Amino acid sequence: MQKILRVRGLRVRYVGGDWVLKGLNFELGKGEVVLIIGESGSGKTTFVRAITGLAGRVYNAVVEGYIEISGKPLAEWGWEEVRDKIGVVLQNPRATLVYPIVYDDLISHAYSIYGSADSAERALSNVTKLLRISHLLNKHVDQLSGGELRRVSIAKALLSNPEVIVLDEPLMWLDDKGMEEVRKTIEILKLHEISVVVLEHRYRSLVEVADRVLRLEGGVLAPIESPLEVGGGFTTLKQAVTTQEERDPVLEVRNVEVKVGELVLKDISLRISRGEKIVIYGGNGSGKTTLLRVITGVIKPAKGVVKRRGGILYIPQIPYLYFTETSLVDELKLAGLPDAGKASTGKTRFDLDRSPFSLSWGEALEFIVEMALESRSELVLMDEPFSGLSYTSRKTLGGRLLASPKAVVVTASNRENLEFLAGFKLLELKEGRLVEKGLLGDLR
């Protein structure tokens, strides 16, 4: 098999820091799909920066070792040449799009590559037919689903006809339908002998399409013969008998109706008891976040009643949006927990003088969850808390939430995450209505 990318003895460290990559070796063949998994902070992003030349050129990192693209050392490639050889699709695909209409964005990028209107149109036509997204060209980017947005961003990366596509957590924030769309797109790329490197926490659905699965740990890559399985699915059970304490509600929502744009929630009723654990499942755009905002009082319902008995703490889908202060210790003080850093084992590993925005995604979520579960609030709302977490971290978080004496409501857009919420009551939000399904059980 022809080797498109070779990496030997790669070592990378940032100014003032320890080595992130410590002698990493890697090869990628033509048309090969390689899945790389690893915990947050293991160095996946640093690996991408290194093979694209960004680590040294942009981030001023110390880079040692040998990197070869298509038989030529990385140092001999120009900046734009590397960009055309290796297309990178970021975690947030919207960040790669400039214009509001899909066609305008893609054709502008194609023209910047080829300098000719005819060549740009030809390249765009080829890519959109390849990925089967021609029907999306006239759409506004805000009209795209998560899966459609990923496919459009992959199309943009393909316009330069690269030999390698790197997908950085392509399944992040996707529901079940979007996840399947991305998986099929990777299969198409593989069929056309385009090499693909996928860096993903939520990797199970991609194992079958991958030729190899590697784990990045301790600064090096190692093959995995049988990718780690955590949990085994879920089942619904009959509703448990409530105790006297559980009958004491912290929230009552009765016959609520909400209209936000084209989204309509109809006749929503929900009663949450002290200590109760609930997961609201539904696809992207079904109204889960809107419902949480109704519960917090941010959105006022057109009809119905919302009664709150006790404090409510809301954790948004992007954890960094929760922070308002310049240091972790100030976040604790603002939450009324000045001594929490000493008392909580979950936070003692953090330097409390550091900025909350310097935390990794997983660290930020861990810190916020610990704060929330120690707060005086009786109800904690979490919007898609498993996004960006490894399976091990998801299992830990699910167990932590279940063990808490607080009432907890989480949202989930894919069935895979339900297995980490054994013991939670399952509600499905579909076509504007909320339907109780029962208790989630553990099939392990």
pLDDT at position 247, please? 60
Q: Collect all residues with Cβ–Cβ distance below 8 Å to 231 and sequence separation of at least 6.
A: 391, 395, 419, 420, 442, 443, 444
pLDDT at position 112, please? 94
Instruction: State the Cα–Cα distance between residues 306 and 77, nearest whole angstrom.
Output: 61
The values of phi and psi at residue 245, to 5°, are: -65, -40
Q: Collect all residues with Cβ–Cβ distance below 8 Å to 364 and sequence separation of at least 6.
A: 319, 320, 322, 323, 356
Q: How far is CA 9 from the centre of its chain?
A: 30
Instruction: State the Cα–Cα distance between residues 171 and 417, nearest whole angstrom.
Output: 13
Fold adopted by 234-442: Rossmann fold (3.40.50)
Residue 277 has pLDDT above 50, yes or no: yes
Q: Is the dihedral of CA 436, 145, 297, 410 positive or negative?
A: positive
Total count of residues recorded for the chain: 444
SS3 166: strand
SS3 119: helix
Residue 443 has pLDDT above 70, yes or no: no
Domain ranges of the chain: 3-223, 234-442
Nearest CA-CA partner of 200 in 53, 320, 40, 358: 40
SS3 162: coil
Instruction: State the Cα–Cα distance between residues 62 and 46, nearest whole angstrom.
Output: 11
Beta-carbon count within 10 A of 434 CB:
21
Which of the four pLDDT bands, split at 50, 70 and 90, describes residue 358?
confident
Q: What is the mean pLDDT of the chain?
A: 88
Asked if 28 contacts 5 with a C-beta cutoff of 8 angstroms, the reply is yes
- Give pLDDT tens digits for 8-39: 999 999 998 899 999 999 999 999 999 999 88
Mean pLDDT highest for which of 7-16, 203-212, 259-268, 360-369? 7-16
pLDDT at position 216, please? 94
Instruction: State the Cα–Cα distance between residues 292 and 409, nearest whole angstrom.
Output: 9
Asked if 67 contacts 51 with a C-beta cutoff of 8 angstroms, the reply is yes
- Give pLDDT tens digits for 169-184: 888 878 888 888 889 9
pLDDT at position 167, please? 94
Residue 209 has pLDDT above 60, yes or no: yes
Q: What's the CATH number for 3-223?
A: 3.40.50.300
Instruction: State the Cα–Cα distance between residues 423 and 440, nearest whole angstrom.
Output: 5
Asked if 390 contacts 201 with a C-beta cutoff of 8 angstroms, the reply is yes
pLDDT at position 35, please? 95
Residue 244 has pLDDT above 60, yes or no: no
Q: How far is CA 256 from the centre of its chain?
A: 30
**Mean pLDDT (whole number) for 340-365:** 71
pLDDT at position 390, please? 83
pLDDT at position 267, please? 93
pLDDT at position 225, please? 73
Instruction: State the Cα–Cα distance between residues 390 and 420, nearest whole angstrom.
Output: 12
Instruction: State the Cα–Cα distance between residues 348 and 257, nearest whole angstrom.
Output: 44
pLDDT at position 442, please? 56
Residue 72 has pLDDT above 90, yes or no: yes
Residue 69 has pLDDT above 50, yes or no: yes
Which of the four pLDDT bands, split at 50, 70 and 90, describes residue 343?
very low
pLDDT at position 291, please? 95
The values of phi and psi at residue 346, to 5°, are: -70, -20
Which of the four pLDDT bands, split at 50, 70 and 90, describes residue 338?
low
CA end-to-end distance (rounded Å), the chain? 40
Instruction: State the Cα–Cα distance between residues 302 and 256, nearest whole angstrom.
Output: 7
3-223 and 234-442: same fold? Answer: yes
Q: Is the dihedral of CA 93, 88, 123, 27 positive or negative?
A: negative
Instruction: State the Cα–Cα distance between residues 127 and 320, nearest whole angstrom.
Output: 35
**Mean pLDDT (whole number) for 383-388:** 88
Residue 232 has pLDDT above 50, yes or no: no
pTM flag (> 0.85): no
**Mean pLDDT (whole number) for 149-161:** 93
